[in-house]
Structure 1
Amino acid sequence: MKRKVVLAIVTSFICFVPYAQQLPHYTQYVLNNFILNPAVAGIENYTDVKISHRHQWVGIDGAPVTTYLTIHGPIKKSDYARETATGFRAEGENPRGKAYWQNYEKADPHAGIGLTILNDRTGPLNRFSAYGTYAYHIGISSKTSLSAGISAGIKNTTLNAGKLSFDVPVDPAVAGSGYLNRLTPDMNAGIWLYSADYFAGLSAQNIIPSKIKFSEDTVKLAGGRQIPHMFLTAGYRFFVNDDVSFLPSALIKYVTSTPVSFDVNAKLQYRDFLWVGASMRYKDSWAAMAGLNISNAINIGYSYDITTSQLNTVSRGSHEIVVGFLLGNRFGDWCPRNLW
């Protein structure tokens, strides 16, 4: 009878310490709030597709590498304020200037659906997730809307035991056990309040707490526990002049048993064409960002993070790129109307 080996591995890879890195870090969630909050699904008049790749802490072997695809769009959403692609435009004026927002109206009641596919690799751990999303939007005043959404799916966590190293000799059955997998259900939920001038959102990810234990015929590895993460975000729009908007925002993240962390972001947008920005993650990093709306069908954003933690002596920073596609864009919008 095959002997079973029980091993407790007290490392950040297996026990998920610190908890804050159970979920991937993003810098350009300002370009894709749907990755953090399912209530955003269907907020625009088109199907929004985002593809992103992030390489965190370049120069550190086994540092996190995250790739995702998100798709979301509305179901039977109409726009009360316009019927054509130029319904808000005035000749010679900025299509995203002050006159544009004077015609802003609340969302008509409608649903949104979405899909998220995400892969996050850190050292010997690989986490693959897939979620389906449903959201519903209603107007609560003449210019303010509220939505609620939920995502449900699966998360497959794979441990490459062959990449583990130990300070003491271990049974060869452990080192040679190959890939071990753990499949768990997962759920996210959120609410989103939005208007012409501001937005605010509250969301939770990893709602279903679950223990992570890996096992196969010869080996059992005792792991850690996935715990819920809470995100609170808000932002406001200021006009520097009719061509330039200033868009500050903040994100607060709470995870049980860890200090509250927060980001502060600032973004300058020129018309509906390009934007630049900066971000500060408290006691962790600074980031520079830039983006370009190439047409009414495609946009791109890039960010570079400079690490300020103790990792800055061995890390060459973090790179993140996001490419977006606007499908079924019947009004020809070059940038989102309800997300900034």
Structure 2
Amino acid sequence: MSKLFITIILLSIFFLPKLLFSQNINLRDNYFSNCLYNVNPSAAGYDGGFISSLSISKKWVNIQDAPSVQVFSNSLRFGSTDFYDDEYFISRPIFDFAPRVGVGLTLYNETSGPIKETGFLFAYAYHIPLNRNKLSFGLSGSYSQTSINSVLLQPNNEYDPELYTNTKDYFPSIQFGSMYYSRDLLVSLSLRRNLISNSYYQTITFTNVNLFSLYNLYESSRYSIESSIMLDYTYNYQTTIDCNLRLHYFNKHWLLISLRDFQAFGMGIGLSFNSRIQFQYQFKTSNSSFNKHFVSSHSVGLSLNVERIIQNR
């Protein structure tokens, strides 16, 4: 089956749900700036070696107290990878006592006006070799605290007791995922569910399903082109479709074109230095009736291949 035919099938499947209600994906799930295990725990260690990423995102930069997100991700593989070249940004790890095990640890903070959410995520993945391909399974748990700064609300009735009580909520969740990947193809599926909620107003439960696919359309000694599609569905709440096309240069630098929810357009760039440091920048804008009144979103990221930094000291 040709690459073109596979690509047409994938695009046809994922463009059909065009009429589904959708909203933007949370910025901490930005898998081009953060490690992929934040979306699917089975991707922990998929990058190979020890990769640390820091990203800072800002939406509606012309609006005071607009949403902002800071994410610090760390992906570690306790063994060697099989099919990645040494010249790639991905490298062989210095740890080699559990080649099939990968872990991830993320700390994140999100602020939207008076609302602040802080939390962490830990992921574990087990990678099974299948000839030249791999199949992985992963499990992750996250815990976040959401709080409201009543001082910033500026209410008409400053003596309202509801403004100063029950201003914090705690949201633990668990996620299971699986992923099949090779050098040219990656397909992953994950299921996330929150455990409890002590919300003062109601108990909130949800089930989230995420499907992600990446395919290498073209590859030469200098260039490669990959397409990726993500479908993120939350039961009785929202569906998000994210389509991307990325051009790699010497497997180090890349340019990105992205379409989100059939109404938000984005572009991005990634620059690698000495295969140890990579800088990313992404820009998104929307043509929806709501977001057109605001300046677009911006995100900057920095990824460190800690493995290579240690080896080259």
**Same fold, TM exceeding 0.5?**
yes
| 2:117 matches 1:132 | no
Question: How far did residue 183 of structure 1 move?
Answer: 2.5
| More off after superposition, 293-302 vs 255-264 | 255-264
Question: How far did residue 109 of structure 1 move?
Answer: 5.5
* Partner SS, residue 295 of structure 2: coil
What letter is aligned with 1:270? Y
What letter is aligned with 1:318? S
Query: In the alignment, which of 256, 266, 272 is matched to residue 277 of structure 1?
Result: 256
What letter is aligned with 1:184? F
**Match in the other structure for 2:13:** none
| 2:19 matches 1:40 | no
| More off after superposition, 46-55 vs 188-197 | 188-197
Measured at CA, do residues 256 and 164 of structure 1 come closer, stay the same or move farther in structure 2, by a change above 3 Å? farther
Tell me the distance in 2 between the aligned counterparts of 1:24 and 1:265: 17
Query: In the alignment, which of 286, 289, 307 is matched to residue 310 of structure 1?
Result: 289
**Match in the other structure for 1:172:** 160
Question: How far did residue 178 of structure 1 move?
Answer: 7.6
**8 Å CA contact retained: 1:19, 1:255:** no
Question: How far did residue 153 of structure 1 move?
Answer: 3.4
Measured at CA, do residues 49 and 273 of structure 1 come closer, stay the same or move farther in structure 2, by a change above 3 Å? same
Measured at CA, do residues 158 and 282 of structure 1 come closer, stay the same or move farther in structure 2, by a change above 3 Å? same
| 2:69 matches 1:66 | yes
User: CA-to-partner distance for each residue in 1:157-208, whole Å, 9 max, x for gaps?
Assistant: 1112333366x75743234x28822233222221111101110111233x12
**Match in the other structure for 1:249:** 228
TM-score (structure 2 length as normaliser): 0.80
**Match in the other structure for 1:104:** none
Measured at CA, do residues 305 and 124 of structure 1 come closer, stay the same or move farther in structure 2, by a change above 3 Å? same
**Match in the other structure for 2:26:** 24
Greater relative CO (CA pairs within 8 A, separation 6+): 1
Compare CA radii of gyration and give the structure with the larger one: 1
* Partner SS, residue 39 of structure 1: helix
* Partner SS, residue 210 of structure 1: coil
Measured at CA, do residues 80 and 128 of structure 1 come closer, stay the same or move farther in structure 2, by a change above 3 Å? closer
Measured at CA, do residues 270 and 165 of structure 1 come closer, stay the same or move farther in structure 2, by a change above 3 Å? same
Measured at CA, do residues 288 and 81 of structure 1 come closer, stay the same or move farther in structure 2, by a change above 3 Å? closer
Query: In the alignment, which of 187, 196, 203 is matched to residue 210 of structure 1?
Result: 196
Unpaired stretches in structure 1, ≥5 consecutive residues? 1-17, 83-87, 90-94, 97-107, 215-221, 334-340
User: CA-to-partner distance for each residue in 1:3-49, whole Å, 9 max, x for gaps?
Assistant: xxxxxxxxxxxxxxx9956x723584135322211111112431010
* Partner SS, residue 328 of structure 1: helix
**8 Å CA contact retained: 1:50, 1:325:** yes
**Match in the other structure for 2:209:** 230
Measured at CA, do residues 80 and 183 of structure 1 come closer, stay the same or move farther in structure 2, by a change above 3 Å? closer
**Match in the other structure for 2:172:** 185
**Match in the other structure for 1:157:** 146
Measured at CA, do residues 283 and 78 of structure 1 come closer, stay the same or move farther in structure 2, by a change above 3 Å? closer
What letter is aligned with 1:198? L
What letter is aligned with 1:309? S
* Aligned residues with identical type, % of pairs: 21
What letter is aligned with 1:49? S
**8 Å CA contact retained: 2:257, 2:267:** yes
* Partner SS, residue 66 of structure 2: coil
What letter is aligned with 1:129? G
Tell me the distance in 1 between the aligned counterparts of 2:148 and 2:203: 13
**8 Å CA contact retained: 1:290, 1:302:** yes
Tell me the distance in 1 between the aligned counterparts of 2:148 and 2:22: 17
**8 Å CA contact retained: 1:290, 1:303:** yes
Tell me the distance in 2 between the aligned counterparts of 1:226 and 1:53: 29
* Partner SS, residue 225 of structure 1: coil
Question: How far did residue 227 of structure 1 move?
Answer: 2.2
* Partner SS, residue 162 of structure 1: helix
How many residues are treated as equivalent by the alignment?
282
**8 Å CA contact retained: 2:252, 2:275:** no
RMSD: 3.0
What letter is aligned with 2:136? S
**Match in the other structure for 1:200:** 187
Question: How far did residue 211 of structure 1 move?
Answer: 3.2
**8 Å CA contact retained: 2:230, 2:243:** yes
* Partner SS, residue 237 of structure 2: coil
| 2:136 matches 1:147 | yes
What letter is aligned with 1:174? E
**Match in the other structure for 2:298:** 319
